């Protein structure tokens, strides 16, 4: 199934100069970038994005972290993109994330919720999050020259 997923390079990823390194990993895996922009969100927007965590003890910390600097928001498309993207990102806790994953290669502990990237967890989250972060005309349709090999027939 061809899916779209939302990835955010969170402020720690941007501030550490890892934008290119992170994007490269999705791009080389064959995931197509169909939307991308830099945004600096306020707490109201962040609350909407992280609404599922509103009652967690770390919610305030999470809001502070996600609003402390600019974010690169990316819409990725590919076959089973939601699962594939989560695998590339690695486990939520960097001390459990495997080497080879973004979190496993560039972090080792979850300080104030910092784990470099966000990725949609499932189809309904992906749909909701893409609608929150991107207007319809900010998502583009085009063909990558390697689609025959990395996606196959649609
Ligand atoms: P993920 O980002 O892997 O989907 P999540 O949805 O459970 O993880 O949590 C959202 C973010 O909240 C996560 O990326 C980092 C932060 N977070 C999660 N658990 C935490 C904890 N126990 N303490 C501090 N921050 C936490
Ligand atoms: Mg999550």
Q: Is the CB of 58 under 6 A from ligand 1?
A: yes
Residue 154: is its pLDDT beyond 90?
no
Bridge-partner residues for 33, per DSSP? 76
Ligand 1 pocket residue status of 125, Cβ below 6 Å: no
Distance 49 CA to ligand 1 centre (A): 13
Digit-coded pLDDT (tens) for 95-143? 999 999 999 999 999 999 999 999 999 999 999 999 999 999 999 999 9
Q: Where are the domains of the chain?
A: 2-135
Smallest CA separation from ligand 1 atom 18, residue: 113
Token pair, residue 141, equals 């349709």
Crossing angle, helix 81-89 and helix 19-28, to 10 degrees? 140
How many other CB atoms are found less than 10 A from the CB of residue 88? 21
pLDDT digits (tens, 9 = 90+) for 19-69: 999 999 999 999 999 999 999 999 999 999 999 999 999 999 999 999 999
Query: Options 3.30.70.141, 3.40.50.10800, 3.10.620.30, 3.30.530.50; which CATH number does 2-135 get?
Result: 3.30.70.141
Q: What DSSP line would sit under 5-32, residue for residue?
A: EEEEE-HHHHHTT-HHHHHHHHHHTT-E
Structure tokens at 8: 């955010």
The whole-model pTM stands at 0.98
Nearest CA to ligand 1 atom 9: 92
For residue 20 the two structure tokens come to: 């290119």
Task: State the DSSP code for 58.
Answer: T
């Amino acid at each position: 199934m061809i899916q779209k997923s939302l990835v955010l390079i969170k402020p720690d990823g941007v501030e550490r100069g890892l934008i290119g390194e992170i994007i490269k990993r999705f791009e080389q895996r064959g995931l197509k970038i169909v939307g991308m922009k830099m945004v600096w969100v306020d707490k109201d927007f962040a609350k909407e994005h992280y609404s599922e965590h509103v009652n967690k003890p770390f919610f305030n910390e999470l809001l502070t972290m996600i609003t402390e600097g600019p974010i690169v928001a990316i819409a990725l498309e590919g076959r089973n993109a939601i699962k594939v993207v989560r695998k590339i990102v690695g486990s939520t806790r960097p001390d459990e994330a495997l080497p080879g994953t973004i979190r496993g290669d560039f972090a080792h502990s979850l300080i104030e919720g910092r784990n470099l990237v966000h990725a949609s967890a499932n189809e309904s989250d992906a749909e909701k999050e893409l609608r929150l972060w991107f207007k319809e005309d900010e998502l583009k349709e085009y063909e990558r020259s390697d689609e025959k090999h990395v996606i196959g027939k649609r």
